[in-house]
Structure formats: C-alpha cells, structure tokens
C-alpha cells in the first residue's frame, strides 16, 4: 500500500462521515484550544480528553483498564491539571508538553499526545496503535508500535505525520483521520496499547 494525496483525502472524508466520534471531535477541536489558552475550561473538559483517548477504540480497549485510567485522572488535583495544561500552552516543543502532562495520574505519552492535539491541533496529533500500524505498514516508520511509547517515539511519529501533512497539503487532523481509517486494512490494527485483542463493540 502507498499513501497518496487522493487516498488520504478520500479516507479522511469517509472518517468524517462514518466515524461515531467525528462530530464531537470536530466540536472539541474548535472549542478546546481557545479554552485551554484562555484558561476558561472546567475539570470535565480536561477529563473528556482522557475518556476520548480510550473510547475512540469503540470497545477494543479493555473496559476495566479504560475505566481505571479515567478514575485515576479524576484523582488529580484540578490545580495540578490546570498547571500542566498551562505548561503545554507555553511549551515550545512536544517534549516539554509531554513532560508536564505525564506528571499527572493516568497520563502516559499516548494520552499526553491527545492533550497536545486538543491544545494545538495545528502542531500536534495523537498517537496510538492504529495510526502507528498504518505508518509502519507503508514504510513510514521502521518498527511496530512500542509497548510503552517514549517521548522520542512520539517525536518520530509526529515528524512523519507533519511530513505527510506538508506533502499532501493538508492539516494534521486530516492525516490522523486517514491513518485511522486505513488501519482497518493493515496488519496489527486490531490490537491496542497493551497488545490486547479486540473485545467487542462500544
């Protein structure tokens, strides 16, 4: 399989029409960046990103682990959450933003990438096994999805996504939507972060 501009555009359009979370994602991509920059947001807005990260797998992520992560995030003091997000807004690169976010309970590098996406979708894009599997299959990444992605892994992934966005003259969210859709057709796309197999619908 080869990534082309027409393929990316076509799959991104299909995602927008068919993905169950597409509408709420677009709404939050429009509102959350400004809210995070101004500080005019509540605890539920931040917690939504954690919920979204896991629930976008539509039941393929083990339910008990998803719920545990969501519960652990609520254990964070909201002042700590606000301080971390403020640091992300002021961060000059992905590493600084991830460092601030991963000090919070239930936020690892992949979840942190979700926060980065909704803080600044023009600069960052979320990482996970599906998107990574697509890039690996087409030869854009040299190895399969790590068991526990590092900051360096994310930076490598982000660089490839930015390169594709530039090559195809589109934004990073378009690249994400296309990679997510294409992952249905590549090997390894039925697994999640811990290697657990598909467990059913959402």
Give 27-76 pLDDT, tens digit per residue. 999 999 999 999 999 999 999 999 999 999 887 777 888 899 999 999 99
Return d(Cα 168, Cα 96) in angstroms, integer.
28
Residue 44's nearest CA partner among 57, 31, 56, 61 is 31
The pLDDT of residue 1:
81
Mean pLDDT in the chain?
91
Question: Is 130's pLDDT higher than 90?
Answer: yes
The pLDDT of residue 202:
28
The pLDDT of residue 164:
98
Residue range 80-102: mean pLDDT, rounded: 97
Residue 176's nearest CA partner among 191, 160, 200 is 160
Residue range 127-156: mean pLDDT, rounded: 97
Cα–Cα separations (whole angstroms), residue 61 to 115, 147, 178:
19, 14, 20
pLDDT band at 198 (very low <50, low <70, confident <90, very high): very low
Return d(Cα 142, Cα 134) in angstroms, integer.
12
Domain annotation covers residue 191: no
Domain annotation covers residue 31: yes
Domain annotation covers residue 200: no
Residue range 144-160: mean pLDDT, rounded: 97
Q: Which residue has the higher pLDDT, 199 or 25?
A: 25
pTM: 0.91
Number of domains in the chain: 1
Range of lowest pLDDT (81-90, 91-100, 165-174, 183-192): 183-192
The pLDDT of residue 187:
55
Q: Which residue has the higher pLDDT, 64 or 18?
A: 18
The pLDDT of residue 66:
87
Sign of CA dihedral 85, 87, 90, 92: negative
Domain annotation covers residue 63: yes
Domain annotation covers residue 195: no
Residue-number span of the structural domain to which 158 is assigned: 5-185
Domain annotation covers residue 110: yes
Domain annotation covers residue 30: yes
Domain annotation covers residue 82: yes
Strands (E), the chain: none
The pLDDT of residue 195:
35
């Amino acid at each position: 399989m080869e990534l082309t501009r027409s393929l990316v555009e076509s799959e991104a359009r299909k995602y927008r029409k068919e993905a169950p979370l597409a509408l709420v994602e677009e709404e939050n991509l429009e509102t959350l960046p400004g809210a995070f920059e101004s500080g005019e947001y509540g605890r539920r807005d931040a917690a939504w990103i954690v919920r979204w990260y896991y629930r976008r797998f539509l039941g393929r992520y083990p339910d008990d682990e998803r719920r545990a992560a969501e519960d652990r995030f609520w254990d964070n003091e909201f002042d700590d959450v606000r301080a971390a997000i403020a640091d992300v807004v002021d961060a000059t690169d992905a590493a600084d933003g991830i460092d601030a976010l991963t000090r919070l309970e239930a936020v690892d590098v992949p979840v942190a990438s979700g926060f980065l996406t909704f803080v600044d979708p023009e600069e960052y894009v979320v990482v996970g096994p599906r998107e990574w599997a697509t890039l690996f299959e087409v030869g854009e990444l040299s190895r399969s999805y790590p068991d526990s992605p590092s900051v360096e892994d994310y930076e490598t992934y982000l660089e490839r996504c930015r390169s594709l966005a530039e090559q195809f003259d589109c934004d990073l969210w378009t690249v994400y939507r296309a990679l997510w859709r294409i992952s249905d057709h590549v090997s390894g796309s039925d697994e999640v972060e811990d290697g657990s197999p598909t467990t059913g619908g959402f």
